[in-house]
Structure 1
Amino acid sequence: MDFEFLLRVAEKRIKAALGKSDAEPQLKGIVTRLFCRQGFYLQMGQDGSLDGTKDDSTNSSLFNLIPVGLRVVAIQSVKTGLYIAMNGEGHLYSSELFTAECKFKESVFENYYVIYSSMLYRQKESGRAWFLGLNKEGQAMKGNRVKKTKPAAHFLPKPIEVAMYREPSLHDVGEAVPKLVGGPPSKSTTSEPVVMNGGKPVNKPDKEET
């Protein structure tokens, strides 16, 4: 039997035992800008703040869209390395660690815009998803106030380049130290998708974007 073949097999086994991959990085994603139908590019400031900008050339509006599941993505700022996350009350925040609150389902809407919904949280009784969104002033909105049929939730990715990524290490939500945007991470430490409403009643929903 070919000695070099045996050597390659042995190397792969050693790497597997050490938790290393022979094909890292192995996730194909894109570097992109996300243009909201409200007329703004989503951006993250150096302090982790999230809002919209009209400038289509600033580095703060560049994001890594990393596939972490079937039609599920992590949205990471190229400039800061922080992930966009949504907590159990619908507030957006930026996180240094990749947690379940950083997972967003990516869906193509009927008008060819893309919508991003939290994989972890939604309305408890109605089951309605919570979405990433910007209001008419370019401010980040609470996910439970964003309707998928409204411009606030509609984003048009404008890819810059295809890139390869290593799979982010999943941490418990409680480990995240947030860069506050609208609220802290959830107190939950689960890494599995659950249906929650942040302890708020759902019979009187928050006012939604029109």
Structure 2
Amino acid sequence: MMVEGEMKEVSETVMLDAIKFAHKEIKKHCKVQMELMEESGKTVKREYSHEENDEEIRKAVESFCYERCYAIARSGEDKHTRSDAFEALKEEFMQTIPEAEREEKAMMVSRYYHDVEKRAMRRMILDEGIRLDGRSTSDIRPIWCEIDYLPMAHGSAIFTRGETQSLTTVTMGTKLDMKEMDEVLIQGTEQFVLHYNFPPFSTGEARPSRGIGRREIGHGN
């Protein structure tokens, strides 16, 4: 069950009464849906199909890959080199499977390999206190910053930490540039507007820009 609500201060009794009232109304919606199912003939539910597993392959992946995954994680190489090494190891294991069975078992191997890779990295961090880039759990990467990086902008700054770099600009505007908010519970304007742009080339990807992606949503917008 999922319950959504918003309030400032309310007693538990009032809240419970509200939930009970909503539950009574939800039953009406459920009844209509059941009637529609009957009318459309969609009364048989799909059978749940659990993922297939093969313990022999799981053990083979563990035996073949764990120590080498640990060594790759422990190498302290940069992210791209490390990713290539992990991928090469998985491909090397795939070559041990008969060619006629590779396509059929590829997804299963990928799932088991992901678990082994994750466990190796986790054990290294927990047991040795070393992270993937060679730092200890208490080390902080050095940061480089500079302000007024772009001379023609109203304001700008750039910073670099590890493989992450951000260039930020500030533009002053008039009241006509204010952000208008017309939401269910919030109406009005906001003086500060953040536009966060994360183009594919910034992570070495080659794909078209088609609206906001997961990084823009998660990082800024």
Q: Report TM bin, short chain.
A: under 0.3
Higher helix share: 2
Higher strand share: 1
Greater RCO (CA < 8 Å, at least 6 residues apart): 1
Larger Rg: 2
